[in-house]
Structure 1
Amino acid sequence: MAAQSIKLALMPGDGIGLEVMAAAEQVLAALRDHYQLPLSWEQLGWPSTGWHREHGQMMPDDGLEQLKRNGYDALLLGALGDPGPANDPERYRLSDSVSLAPLLTFRKGLDLWACERPARLLPGAPQYLADPRAREVDMLVIRENSEGEYINQGGRLRAGSIDEVASQLEIFTRRAAERIIRHAFERAQERQRRRKHNGETRDYQCDRDRIATAQVCLITKRNAQPHWGDMYTEVFDQLAGEYPGVGVHHELIDAACMKFVQSPWQFDVVVASNLHGDILTDLAAVLAGGLGVAPSCNINPADKTLPALFEPTHGSAPDIAGQGIANPTAMLLTTAMMLDWLDLGKAAEALRNAVAQDMQSTDSKQRSTEEITHTILRRIRESA
């Protein structure tokens, strides 16, 4: 892909999304110049609450078709949501079910069935666990994005009455289970090769009483939800036979949350359902320094004909929006993930290194978004 023209759609969204997107755009321009990247982009005013204010919806009716028709290779999203302060009746307010709906639209409409969120504690990032081994946190949580608990099947009967009944169905298919679990094994092998190339060594305690240098941990709640839990486990065991060099491990979601805090360095690649992955990724982000430094992507590893979606895990932070103090670190690391996806690995590594150096070299003084961005740009120029 790197030899061809690459077209991006930048979607600032709401709140601090506009500020961190401005930082990402400056960095993309610098990387394009220094590395002669075949990049171009367009900035879209949707999805956003601003668009909703003018048009009564978060995005155009044909928004999804526009993304497909315009030939974008990737989408970079800032943040969505602006509930507004409860004591300000003049503030335009939307519920999360409305403001965040475009995320599900993109994931389903573009068939982005895998959500990846790496959690690696970079030097200089806040360390919330006192155990010194917490510095070794380096995991990848892979979340099934297309079905499961978020399929939104169900309804409410006799709403508002004492006899109201609400149903929320979970839908799981073997096809989706196989593709997400296989992807987890493939990513574990890739991470193992990366560590070997970098001269790193890492061992994981795995099921079947052995140690392995790469591991995939499956998360379910099969003791209480045996139908989909057993299916996932059967698929997991079947595919594990095709990857003899990768260790396997299984945890229930509640035990996994506990062990993420007790000993997160024991995890490598973690694969989970939509809801369980949603929970674990936020917890893993805190272990790696917080949501303010956590990148994320929504991809279809088997098909790059439709654009993938890249977004930082933090929200729109309306309480600090417009003050120029939003930290763009998560957005810039997300931008690096996007560049990797686009086969622009050299530029991605330069950006990632610049961010890591900035985190390691700064003191506790709060810096503005502009100050952080200018420091990153300077480090990129120096490395180039």
Structure 2
Amino acid sequence: MVATKPQPRHIALMPGDGIGAEVVAAAEQVLTQLRDHHHVDISWDTLEWPSTAWHQEHGRMMPEDAMHRVKGYDALLLGALGDPGPTSDPQRYRLPDGISLAPLLAFRKELDLWACERPARLLPGAPQFLADPRAADIDMLVIRENSEGEYVNQGGRMHRGTPNEVATQLEVFTRRATERLIRHAFLRARRRLVLRGETKQFYCAEKGQAFAQLCLVTKRNAQPAWGELYSEVFDEIAREFPEIGTRHELVDAACMKFVQCPWEFDVVVASNLHGDILTDLAAVLSGGLGLAPSCNINPDSRAMPALFEPTHGSAPDIAGQGLANPSAMLLTTAMMLEWLGFTAAGEQLRAAVAADLVSNGHRNRNCQEITQGIIAAL
């Protein structure tokens, strides 16, 4: 069978705020290398929005027609959003998180990017914060629901500033969104099993043998309405995947076990809020936020561009100093390349980041030095 050549792709680079500009510049250098020397047919535009600077000039984070404009790209590569600024500088233009981070929710909802995937793998040479030598085997994928749940932003506050003030925050969970999320998680577990072969299996006591494993995380003992919905759908879909071992953890126990024995997790599926918390914890366990990639995708459709972003945030305290680690952004770029069909290039870039970590991870380097080391490894 003759392999099909990937189609030309056109993406948007969105530096955003803080260190976003530095890590996106690193990604652009790597993309240029891949385009010019590795035959990756990709082009890009760099957008000044969304960003705090755009808000300062225009009174909003991005243009009114931003959603229409981004739909013309194959993918969006975002640096970071949010710039509260140092409180010691009264002249610094500052925005509350509810405004500066709003474009993230807008992209996820308007582009129907209902799944957030965050792999957590401890690469050789990366900082290992757990003393147990088994921590070297951390290799999990956390899949977070991205479209509803705790982040629907329905509710409000009444009688503000008075003793009778009331704040309500409504959570919304639908069977449709639950089914598509959990089915996708089983499919990802199956794919990891195929790609991994026999190199890493998990023993399933219920089935009496080793399988790939999918862990559902809820808080169904305290929030039974949606927790039971998730559990029932999980059990229904599990019958279609007999090769996948299953387990369930309450979110507080999952947090404890992420620290106690993270090597026992394979694929984890969770709600919007729980996934958000667990993925940051998993990132630290796999070397820190400077090595944590993520993507926001619609696994069922490529009609809209997917959004790729590292998990580290804008880090305004070190912005502009060249201290940012671009590795998370470059691992995110590798995920984007694979999503766009440039599978070999994505694997090459991931291997280059890993090789640079092994050779130079012990050294204290700036953003540009790390970028050049990874390009050399390519």
- Per-residue deviation, 1:363: 5.1
Whether contact under 8 Å (1:205, 1:266) holds in the other structure is no
- Per-residue deviation, 1:361: 1.0
List structure 1 segments (4+ residues) > 6 angstroms apart after TM superposition. none
Q: Tell me which residue corresponds to 2:120.
A: 119
Equivalences for 1:266-305 in 2 at 5 Å? Answer: 266-305=264-303
- Per-residue deviation, 1:160: 1.2
- Per-residue deviation, 1:372: 1.0
Whether contact under 8 Å (1:295, 1:334) holds in the other structure is yes
Q: Structure 2: which amino acid aligns with 1:186?
A: L
Q: Tell me which residue corresponds to 2:89.
A: 88
Q: Tell me which residue corresponds to 2:56.
A: 53
Q: 1:210 aligns with which of 187, 191, 208?
A: 208
Whether contact under 8 Å (2:125, 2:362) holds in the other structure is no
Q: 2:45 aligns with which of 42, 45, 55?
A: 42
DSSP 3-state at the match of 1:139 = strand
Whether contact under 8 Å (1:120, 1:137) holds in the other structure is yes
- Per-residue deviation, 1:213: 2.6
1:154 lines up with 2:155 in the alignment: yes
Whether contact under 8 Å (1:207, 1:248) holds in the other structure is no
Q: Structure 1: which amino acid aligns with 2:17?
A: D
- Per-residue deviation, 1:207: 5.8
Q: 1:204 to 1:274 in 2, by over 3 A?
A: same
- Per-residue deviation, 1:65: 1.2
- Per-residue deviation, 1:209: 5.5
Q: Structure 1: which amino acid aligns with 2:274?
A: H
Distance in 2 between the 1:343 and 1:103 partners? 24
Q: Tell me which residue corresponds to 1:74.
A: 75
Count, aligned residues: 375
1:20 lines up with 2:23 in the alignment: yes
Q: 1:5 aligns with which of 4, 8, 16?
A: 8
Whether contact under 8 Å (2:127, 2:287) holds in the other structure is yes
Q: Deviations over 1:123-179 (max 9, x none)?
A: 001001111000000000000000000011111111111100110010000000000
Identity %: 68
- TM-score, length of structure 1 as denominator length: 0.96
DSSP 3-state at the match of 1:214 = strand
Equivalences for 1:1-384 in 2 at 5 Å? Answer: 3-68=6-71, 71-196=72-197, 200-206=198-204, 208=206, 210-362=208-360, 364-380=362-378
Distance in 2 between the 1:364 and 1:19 partners? 22
Distance in 2 between the 1:379 and 1:127 partners? 22
- Name the Cα RMSD after superposition: 1.1
Q: Deviations over 1:101-121 (max 9, x none)?
A: 000000000000000000000
Distance in 1 between the 2:316 and 2:348 partners? 31
Distance in 2 between the 1:277 and 1:374 partners? 33
Q: Deviations over 1:39-89 (max 9, x none)?
A: 110000000001011001111111111111xx2000000001111111100
Shifted more, 59-68 versus 364-373: the winner is 364-373
Q: Structure 2: which amino acid aligns with 1:92?
A: Y
- Per-residue deviation, 1:373: 1.0
Q: 1:211 to 1:263 in 2, by over 3 A?
A: farther
Q: Deviations over 1:204-233 (max 9, x none)?
A: 243625343301100000101111111110
Distance in 1 between the 2:189 and 2:163 partners? 50
Q: What runs of 5+ residues in structure 2 fail to find an aligned partner? A: none
Distance in 2 between the 1:301 and 1:285 partners? 23
- Per-residue deviation, 1:306: 0.4
Whether contact under 8 Å (2:204, 2:211) holds in the other structure is no
Q: Structure 2: which amino acid aligns with 1:304?
A: R
Q: Structure 1: which amino acid aligns with 2:263?
A: W
Q: What runs of 5+ residues in structure 1 fail to find an aligned partner? A: none
Q: Deviations over 1:18-39 (max 9, x none)?
A: 0010000010011112221221
